[in-house]
Amino acid sequence: DAGVIQSPRHEVTEMGQEVTLRCKLISGHNSLFWYRQTMMRGLELLIYFNNNVPIDDSGMPEDRFSAKMPNASFSTLKIQPSEPRDSAVYFCASSLARAGSLKQYFGPGTRLTVT
Amino acid sequence: GQQLNQSPQSMFIQEGEDVSMNCTSSSIFNTWLWYKQDPGEGPVLLIALYKAGELTSNGRLTAQFGITRKDSFLNISASIPSDVGIYFCAGQPQDTGRRALTFGSGTRLQVQP
């Protein structure tokens, strides 16, 4: 089976532009997590969904960030308008929510550069 | 939020040496996981631990869930150059029902051939 798929792998954009990052979960999984990784702050959880429902979005930096799950296997993370401080690697992780299992499987990430 | 203290921050060792790293918290954790991240890639799950005292191996890797439930250890035996990367611990604090994990800051491992 394919792992978590993220696109694009690299994105370079100018400040003020809208950025959309995409993630496809592992088939059969029902939880999705969006993370941001920087040298200064490490891995930060932005938001996570369980069965398409956002459970915790307390890590979303501000209103410029939004995330959706239009269906059970796909999610988008949108930044509008983007700012240079948003430059980071964004990961999504997929998990099968069941008792006793918290294993998360990460995608390859999207490296975002905002100039 | 919960804090995980991971140490050491970095290690530089010779090929063939054994490696040990650990993760500690001031509060109790229900689950510990260890991940490895190669440059330009996402973290890859190595080992998951669910019970206090549990000792689990994955090839040359061995991890333990501390009996106090506030720490975990990862050991790598007979290191090889491809062990290079950043190792992260992650866990679920006891006082939350959230499925979200708390991650440590990582241990950067370099192996000299």
Structure confidence at residue B101 (pLDDT): 87
Model confidence at B2: pLDDT above 60: no
Residues from chain A that touch B35, judged by Cβ atoms under 8 A, are 106
Residues from chain B that touch A108, judged by Cβ atoms under 8 A, are 40-42
Structure confidence at residue A97 (pLDDT): 79
Structure confidence at residue B3 (pLDDT): 77
Q: Residue A66 pairs with which residues in a beta bridge?
A: A78
Kindly report the average pLDDT of chain B as a whole number. Answer: 93
Model confidence at A39: pLDDT above 80: yes
Residues from chain A that touch B45, judged by Cβ atoms under 8 A, are 103-105
A25 touches chain B (CB under 8 A): no
Nearest CA in chain B to A34: B100
Model confidence at B16: pLDDT above 90: yes
Q: What is the DSSP letter of B10?
A: E
Count of CB atoms situated within 10 Å of the CB of A10: 11
CB contact under 8 A, A42 and B103: yes
CB pairs under 8 A between A and B: 50
- B67-to-A16, A34, A59, A92, B32 alpha-carbon distances in Å: 50, 31, 31, 32, 12
> Residue B92's pLDDT band (boundaries 50, 70, 90)?
confident
Model confidence at B6: pLDDT above 70: yes
Structure confidence at residue A100 (pLDDT): 66
Type of residue found at A90: Y
Structure confidence at residue A1 (pLDDT): 61
Cite the beta strand spans of chain A per DSSP E: 5-7, 10-13, 19-24, 31-38, 42-50, 53-56, 65-71, 74-79, 88-95, 105-106, 110-114
Say which of A45, A95, A106 has its CB closest to residue B42: A106
Locus of tokens 């991650």 = B103
Read off the pLDDT of residues A45-55 as tens digits, 9 standing for 90 and up.
999 999 999 99
Residues from chain A that touch B90, judged by Cβ atoms under 8 A, are 104
Residue B15 distance to chain A (closest CA, Å): 27
Read off the pLDDT of residues A54-105 as tens digits, 9 standing for 90 and up.
998 988 988 999 999 999 999 999 999 999 999 999 999 999 977 667 899 9
Residue A13 distance to chain B (closest CA, Å): 19
CB contact under 8 A, B48 and A100: no
Model confidence at B97: pLDDT above 80: no
- B40-to-A47, B4, B21, B59, B111 alpha-carbon distances in Å: 22, 24, 23, 24, 18
- A10-A94-A19 Cα angle (round to 5): 30
Residues from chain A that touch B105, judged by Cβ atoms under 8 A, are 42
Read off the pLDDT of residues B55-82 as tens digits, 9 standing for 90 and up.
999 999 999 999 999 999 999 999 999 9
